[in-house]
Amino acid sequence: MLQSRRKIRTEEARSERPGASGAEAFDRRPKLDFDVLDGHLGYFLRRLQISVFKDFISTLATLNVRPAQYSALVLIGANPGRSQAEIGEALNIERARFARLLDELERRGWTQRVAALRDRRSHSLFLTNEGRTALMTIKGLAARHEKQVSRIVGGTRRQKLMKLLKDVQPQARPRS
């Protein structure tokens, strides 16, 4: 049942490549066959998203701000008083997870939930003064991160990707 024959072949293949040079010498293991993964857009989106997020997290490590927290701070800052439901939906964050994210931002003294005038079950979101100050610093680091993304991805390729990705989701675009 275990394919030991194929396994041996794999180990032979490893020793068959003594002349690997340059990038290949960096990793002598034979490349993996990605099979049908090579045809899935989701797979490639996820790969790049993970490496972009890793850069974001390490660039903002001193402030310990994660991408979802950053997105929430930016949206609350640019749209003060909008409801928790609207901001959460716009960021595609599931309701309970968004509530926990806001708990964390409040604990840090950056945001406030206020019961809405018209419907007290609904909450309006605001930055505190401290939150506005923090967001300025955070935006500076996020801009540095984006320059790094541009270097990693390539400036032209980044522009092309942005255009294509924005076209897919017109509902997510800001009003111009």
Q: Two tokens at 5?
A: 């024959």
Binding to a copy of itself by residue 121, rule CB under 8 A?
A: no
Among 30, 106, 108, 141, binds a copy of itself (CB under 8 A): 30
Among 12, 25, 28, 49, binds a copy of itself (CB under 8 A): 49
Side chain identity, residue 160: K
Counting Cα atoms < 13 Å in the Cβ hemisphere of 118 gives 4
C-alpha distance from residue 94 to each of 37, 84, 85, 126, 149 (Å):
27, 11, 10, 20, 27
Among 16, 17, 28, 40, binds a copy of itself (CB under 8 A): 40
Q: Quick one: 40 or 100, whose CB is closer to a copy of itself?
A: 40
Contact status, residue 125 vs residue 83, Cβ threshold 8 Å: yes
Query: How far, in Å, CA of 6 to CA of 47, rounded?
Result: 28
Q: What is the C-alpha end-to-end distance of the chain, expressed in Å? A: 60
Kindly indicate which of the ranges 58-66, 98-106, 126-134 contains the residues binding a copy of itself, using the contact rule CB under 8 A: 126-134
Query: How far, in Å, CA of 27 to CA of 113, rounded?
Result: 51
Q: Two tokens at 22?
A: 């340059």
Q: Which of 7, 52, 20 is nearest to 147 (CA)?
A: 52
Please list every residue from 142 through 161 that binds a copy of itself, using CB under 8 A.
142-143, 146, 149, 152-154, 157-158, 160-161
Binding to a copy of itself by residue 21, rule CB under 8 A?
A: no
Q: Quick one: 10 or 137, whose CB is closer to a copy of itself?
A: 10
Please list every residue from 83 through 112 that binds a copy of itself, using CB under 8 A.
86-87, 90, 92, 112
Q: How far is the CB of 61 from a copy of itself (least distance, A)?
A: 16
Q: Quick one: 103 or 154, whose CB is closer to a copy of itself?
A: 154
Binding to a copy of itself by residue 67, rule CB under 8 A?
A: yes
Among 104, 106, 122, 126, binds a copy of itself (CB under 8 A): 126
